[in-house]
Amino acid sequence: MLLHGRQGLVLGVANKRSIAWAIAQSAAREGARLAFTFQGEAVEKNVRELAGTLRRSMVFPCDVTDDGQVALLFDGLGREFGRLDFLVHCIAFANRKELEGEFSQTSRDGFRVAHDVSAYSLVGLVRGAQPLFPPEGASVLAMTYLGSTRAIPRYNIMGVAKASLEACIRYLASDLGPKNVRVNGISAGPISTLAARGIPGFTDILHHYRQRAPLRRNIDASEVGDAAAFLLSSYARGVTGEILFVDAGYHITGV
């Protein structure tokens, strides 16, 4: 069991099809005790029901754009867990209208919101979590996508925000390395989640990946979950500042 005795926080579970939930299932299977967050009543019931299927899990409210709520989250975790061995960031958001037109038409507020929720939140969460990381070290993991380095039709501001997130991963890895805290990302291929279905033309993207990826298929969320369990475990103790692609090899292709 790769994560036996470890305690972790998973942010971004919305329902049973969430990539965050797939990561949580893999981590729990490998022995981890988990805490989850939710934002608002719309997803609270789902998160609590899913968390209830795992032994000794905890659920906390948290809006990552509110520093006060982030502070309360880690106060609660400190009381309940005492320490935090890993943190998983699966949070991203952009206003739908910013994904529908030309990128040049991105509004100032839309740009700000996407970066605040999708990139800066990782920085704020890691800052809040640091007092709970044990002296022997910890692991941080964030979810990203190929749109951070390539222009993906209709991904627009989310691609730019993911590029910012990946830069945050590298700078946090550099900052926290001396404390034996590793920070990595997983760039997953398209998976039919609630968030992904909000991207215009998402079905076409799935079809394209199946045709072009070296493995000639789309990936399953459980594959991301298992890759995450590896990165969170001591098996990846020499890996930090990296982006691991779990996309059936699509990112290596040209035409």
**pLDDT tens digit sequence for 136-191:** 999 999 999 999 999 988 899 999 999 999 999 999 999 999 999 999 999 999 99
As its CATH architecture, domain 7-246 has 3-Layer(aba) Sandwich (3.40)
Tens of pLDDT, residues 212-230 = 999 999 999 999 999 999 9
Tens of pLDDT, residues 36-65 = 999 988 899 999 999 999 999 999 999 999
Report d(CA 92, CA 171) in Å as an integer.
19
Decide if pLDDT at 88 tops 80: yes
Report d(CA 38, CA 59) in Å as an integer.
8
Tens of pLDDT, residues 109-132 = 999 999 999 999 999 999 999 999
Q: Which one from 120, 145, 209, 235 is the annotated catalytic residue?
A: 145
Decide if pLDDT at 199 tops 90: no
Whole-number pLDDT of residue 200: 65
pLDDT band of residue 236 (cuts 50, 70, 90) is very high
Decide if pLDDT at 195 tops 80: no
Own/partner pairs, 131-134, CB within 8 angstroms, 24+ separation? 131/74, 131/78, 132/74, 132/77, 132/78, 132/81, 132/82, 132/83, 132/84, 133/83, 133/84, 133/85, 133/179, 133/181, 134/83, 134/84, 134/85
Domain spans, the chain:
7-246
Q: Is 235 a catalytic residue?
A: no
Q: Is 155 a catalytic residue?
A: yes
Q: Which one from 120, 155, 209, 235 is the annotated catalytic residue?
A: 155
pLDDT (mean) for 4-31: 97
pLDDT band of residue 204 (cuts 50, 70, 90) is confident
| Structure-token pair, residue 255 | 């035409």
Report d(CA 191, CA 221) in Å as an integer.
7
